[in-house]
Amino acid sequence: MSPIQTYMIQTFRRSQNVVGGLDITTNKSAREYLPRTFVGVMDQDNDGLTETIVLYSGNYTRQMDASTTLKHFGVKSSMRFDGGVVQA
């Protein structure tokens, strides 16, 4: 598994298994309590390969809380998914 990387068109041309997301620091109502989903990858055995995926999903959380929680789990590389617009 590759680490989370900045978008490059070459990545999508080389691999059939690519997931896109937003930079974890993208400010989309960052201080508001909203539904959020983040993903991170980590190298638990320090062999240079990221073999563990960590998902964070919450119905009522701030962006910095999600980021901090992932860091506490040991995630070094992460991204956020765009949940779109919530309609009643």
CA distances from 54 to 8, 35, 86 (A): 23, 17, 24
The pLDDT of residue 15 is above 80: no
| Sequence ranges of the domains in the chain | 9-15+26-81
Answer yes or no: is pLDDT of 72 > 90: yes
Asked whether residue 51 carries a pLDDT value surpassing 60, the answer given is yes
The percent of residues above 90 in pLDDT, for the chain, comes to: 12
Residue-level pLDDT at 85: 55
What pLDDT is stored for residue 86 in this prediction?
52
CA distance 13 to 19: 13
Question: pTM score, two decimals?
Answer: 0.71
Q: Tokens in use for 34?
A: 């909203």
Reply yes or no on whether the pLDDT at 52 is more than 60: yes
